[in-house]
Structure 1
Amino acid sequence: MSEKVLDVHEKPKMGHWLTLSLQHMFAMFGATILVPQLVGLSPAIALLTSGIATIVFIIVTRFQVPAYLGSSFAFIIPIQVATESGGIGSAMIGSTFVALVYGIISLIIWKTGSGWIMNVLPPIVVAPVIIVIGLALAPTAVGMASTVNNEYNLLHFSAALVTLSAAIICLMFFKGIISLMPILIGIIVGYIYSAAIGILDFTKVIEAKVLVFPEMLIPGVDYDFVVTPTLLLVMVPIAIVTISEHIGHQLVLGRIVERDYIKDPGLHRSLLGDGLGTLLSGLIGGPPKTTYGENIGVLAITRVYSVYVILGAAVFAIIFSFFGKVMALIATIPTAVLGGISILLFGIIASSGLRMLVDHKVDFGNQRNLVIASVILVIGIGGASIKFSETFEIEGMALAAIVGVVLNLVLPGKTTKKLTDETA
């Protein structure tokens, strides 16, 4: 283990503090603003809520866990489905119930310990669901990259390919901080190329005010608070995946900073902090939150583990969300550029599921593992659904997650293999 530069509770000098915090903000920036662009939410509110959620998380975890919370990609399809059936307000309501699940599970872990959740969510369930998340989004990425008004457009597709190429080069041929920001750098290069070929419209940037209050969505004010069984079954089961992701991040982060975060401050506290961040985000119109691997990577490279640097990044995110010119500039990013970066990003999500299977040495010679993975993949990618009525339906990713958990619990031959520090 390399010698740390700053430990968790140490504060950097002011000049270094600003630089290090900006570095963390830019590491999460591309992914955090991409999610709202894909689901029809405001990038400004996504930035604002990421900063708020991170501050809440750090407070709940007693200033012991230097983690940044950004927009979760696991909820892209559920938000799209919820929005189609009941408007964007439905997706926000669904987010609050996801947060409630986090709260309930954190309470149970506080009372009973964390062993049971490790057994309910083994790699053979979580990994295929993660693969489903990436591959189910593949048609969306390709469509964004290559079509305009549902018609193929070679000029726009060239912008997608330039964006994709820049991100791949960033990942493959650069080291250090640059390699941790392929999304942001890919978008910047694609944007410059789009300007060169004349597919950008800067009218909104010119018209935008310098300072603008982020556009919020308040329940009971901007939309009616209506809860349906279908809404809950579209959104809530995805917590299975994000909780597993959270546990994995806590294990990896703990290994980097040489602490056991599952025990102190405890998995119940970190899950509660994540849940409260998602709750507050949903209540004002932001996407659900999750801890970000990009920022964990920054910690590993810089060896600066200070929680105050993460707090600084959160404050910068909040400040940036009020700059109308910046947000208007983000809104001009062509769909093709977002599609190009999504091809890589959604593929990486799916590949991370494959990596989990490899890292945990999941044996597909075992018929039990083969059955669970196969059923999850086909139900999730195929978009299977169970429709009980016109207003009560479970489909796609949510159904795949539920079926995976049930199969793992009822099929004979269950092993004790679970997420561990060595393989997370």
Structure 2
Amino acid sequence: MKQQTVGINEVPRLDKWLVLSVQHLFAMFGATILVPLLTGLSPAVALVSSGLGTLAYIVVTKGKIPAYLGSSFAFIMPIIAAITIGGPEGAMIGSFFAGLVYGVVALIIRATGVQWLMKLLPPIVVGPVIMVIGLGLAGVAIDMAMNDPATEAYSGVHLSVAMFTLVLTIIASIFFRGFFGLIPILIGIAGGYTFAVFQGLVDFSAVREANWIQAPDFIVPFVTYSPSFSWEIFFIMVPIALVTLSEHIGDQMVLSKVAERNFIEKPGLHRSVMGDGVATLISSFIGGPPNTTYGENIGVVALTRVFSVFVIGGAAVLAVMFGFIGKVSAVITTIPTAVMGGVSILLFGIIASNGLRMLIDNQVDIGKKRNLIISSVILVVGIGGAFIQVTDVIEIAGMALATIIGIALNLILPGRDQVKTSEEMFKDMSDKKDSAA
């Protein structure tokens, strides 16, 4: 059995602490700034909100879960839709209500346990919905990779930059080891950015004009705007919280396996979900995208066996500091869409593949008619762009509609598989780990 290199509540030596925190910062950096770049929000604010959200999460979970929180990919399309309807402010209002959903669910879990949530969101529902998240964004990635944003027409130069970025990211993912193997996204973006400079796609004027120390463009209710409620945005954003809740449970199970502690029982899933909700609420108050636990940072924990929440907290503090460095924020805004398109081709595909992996890991039998029907309907409704026009201003569409229909089909159709308790799932993971060793 592998031992923890640094325990959960252990404080490393200062120099080691800094290096380990920087490693976590780089692991989440590429994906966290990608979400605001795709949605039109501020990358600097996203860094600040991820740092503050992570610190809040550590406090809510009593410093017992070594998890970093970053921008959620599940909310990319809902944020874009919400911004189209009500601007960035509308997206923040939707994010606020999504955060409240986490809080309500956390209180229910505390009162009734977690089993009902696992029955509501089994792998046969969550897996296809995660696939919808990735495949639904495929068109966005291809457009960014192929088209000149100025003319919205095909550009061979932009496509070459995107392909160079994609190939470099793949090479880094497969062949790089150690620290560099943990940051393939960042390596791909940096390499693609350099290539784009030589192709004449980068304008450095914003970097030259930016101050070294500069406050991000926060979006604060009652300060920069007056909040107004929209049912349409509500139904676009809130149902996605159900998807991220299921992903959150999966992350907690993986962390439990890695750390050999059942975090779902202690400090409890209700604390973890509440921490996620508080982080998302913080983001909604300053203009950042909703936050969620990050698989990239869980991978760092698993590889290094460094479980210290002080290391995670150090990364969070560094993220906040980065958000206030104007030159860094300006460089991020100069990244060409072709570079982000190249990285997105891989990332969005990985999201879809992770949905498929969830079905495989949980041994979901797609040959069973019930499962085949649920997964098929979710995929077509979600990717096909189906929507229900409730009123002139309320529309339930895409991923949100697919999630609701998937949950309904799972509850209605006969022949549901028995859902395991958290203790049984944790025991299964421990048994598999022991047999693998």
TM bracket (short chain): over 0.9
CA contact (8 A) 1:177 1:301 kept: no
109 and 231 in structure 1: CA distance in 2 versus 1, 3 angstrom threshold:
same
* Residue 65 of structure 1: aligned partner: 65
Q: Secondary structure at the match of 1:394?
A: strand
Find the partner of 2:376 among 374, 377, 381.
374
1:112 and 2:112 correspond: yes
Q: Distance in 2 between matches of 1:111 and 1:255?
A: 25
Q: Secondary structure at the match of 1:5?
A: coil
* Residue 320 of structure 1: aligned partner: 322
Q: How far is 1:179 from its partner?
A: 2.4
- Corresponding letter in the other structure for 1:319: M
Aligned runs of 1:6-405 on 2, under 5 Å? 6-148=6-148, 149-405=151-407
Q: Distance in 2 between matches of 1:47 and 1:270?
A: 21
CA contact (8 A) 2:52 2:320 kept: yes
1:414 and 2:422 correspond: no
CA contact (8 A) 1:176 1:301 kept: no
Q: How far is 1:388 from its partner?
A: 2.0
CA contact (8 A) 2:385 2:398 kept: yes
Q: Distance in 2 between matches of 1:129 and 1:291?
A: 18
CA contact (8 A) 2:53 2:278 kept: yes
Q: Secondary structure at the match of 1:415?
A: coil
CA contact (8 A) 1:177 1:298 kept: no
Q: Distance in 2 between matches of 1:326 and 1:228?
A: 35
Q: Distance in 2 between matches of 1:180 and 1:350?
A: 20
CA contact (8 A) 1:359 1:423 kept: no
Q: Secondary structure at the match of 1:390?
A: coil
- Corresponding letter in the other structure for 2:113: G
Q: Distance in 2 between matches of 1:178 and 1:355?
A: 25
Q: Distance in 2 between matches of 1:352 and 1:129?
A: 11
- Corresponding letter in the other structure for 2:74: A
- Corresponding letter in the other structure for 1:71: S
Q: Distance in 1 between matches of 2:182 and 2:248?
A: 19
Q: Distance in 1 between matches of 2:361 and 2:254?
A: 13
Which stretch of the first structure deviates more once superposed, 95-104 or 177-186?
177-186
CA contact (8 A) 1:257 1:305 kept: yes
- Corresponding letter in the other structure for 2:332: I
Q: Distance in 1 between matches of 2:429 and 2:178?
A: 23
Structure 1 gaps of 5+ residues are none
Q: Distance in 2 between matches of 1:318 and 1:85?
A: 30
Q: Distance in 2 between matches of 1:179 and 1:244?
A: 28
Q: Distance in 2 between matches of 1:232 and 1:366?
A: 35
Structure 2 gaps of 5+ residues are 431-437
Q: Could you state the TM-score of these two structures normalised by the residue count of structure 1?
A: 0.98
CA contact (8 A) 2:257 2:429 kept: no
Q: Distance in 2 between matches of 1:185 and 1:317?
A: 18
Q: Distance in 2 between matches of 1:163 and 1:229?
A: 40
157 and 423 in structure 1: CA distance in 2 versus 1, 3 angstrom threshold:
farther
Q: Secondary structure at the match of 2:232?
A: helix
Q: Secondary structure at the match of 1:279?
A: helix
Q: Secondary structure at the match of 1:87?
A: helix
- Corresponding letter in the other structure for 2:362: H
Q: How far is 1:360 from its partner?
A: 1.0
Could you list the per-position Cα deviations for residues 396-415 of structure 1 after superposition, in whole angstroms to 9, with x for gaps in the alignment?
Answer: 11000011111111111111
Q: How far is 1:220 from its partner?
A: 2.8
- Corresponding letter in the other structure for 2:125: V
* Residue 435 of structure 2: aligned partner: none
Q: Distance in 2 between matches of 1:25 and 1:110?
A: 32
Q: How far is 1:389 from its partner?
A: 2.1
Q: Secondary structure at the match of 2:390?
A: strand
Q: How far is 1:224 from its partner?
A: 3.0
Q: How far is 1:235 from its partner?
A: 0.4
- Corresponding letter in the other structure for 2:54: T
CA contact (8 A) 1:99 1:275 kept: yes
Q: Secondary structure at the match of 1:386?
A: strand
Q: How far is 1:173 from its partner?
A: 1.2
Q: Distance in 2 between matches of 1:242 and 1:253?
A: 16
- Corresponding letter in the other structure for 2:262: D
Q: Distance in 1 between matches of 2:263 and 2:40?
A: 35
Q: Distance in 2 between matches of 1:72 and 1:397?
A: 14
Q: Distance in 2 between matches of 1:217 and 1:276?
A: 17
Q: Distance in 1 between matches of 2:195 and 2:358?
A: 36
CA contact (8 A) 1:35 1:72 kept: yes
Q: Secondary structure at the match of 2:335?
A: coil
Q: Distance in 1 between matches of 2:239 and 2:7?
A: 36
CA contact (8 A) 1:9 1:64 kept: yes
Q: Distance in 2 between matches of 1:107 and 1:249?
A: 20
Could you list the per-position Cα deviations for residues 191-214 of structure 1 after superposition, in whole angstroms to 9, with x for gaps in the alignment?
Answer: 111112221110110111111011
Q: Could you state the TM-score of these two structures normalised by the residue count of structure 2?
A: 0.95
CA contact (8 A) 2:38 2:76 kept: yes
- Corresponding letter in the other structure for 1:118: M
Q: Distance in 1 between matches of 2:73 and 2:348?
A: 9
Aligned-pair identity in percent equals 56
Q: Distance in 2 between matches of 1:364 and 1:19?
A: 45
Q: Distance in 1 between matches of 2:203 and 2:101?
A: 42
Q: How far is 1:423 from its partner?
A: 6.5
Could you list the per-position Cα deviations for residues 54-87 of structure 1 after superposition, in whole angstroms to 9, with x for gaps in the alignment?
Answer: 0000000001001000000000000011111111
CA contact (8 A) 2:127 2:358 kept: yes
CA contact (8 A) 1:360 1:423 kept: no
Q: Secondary structure at the match of 1:224?
A: coil
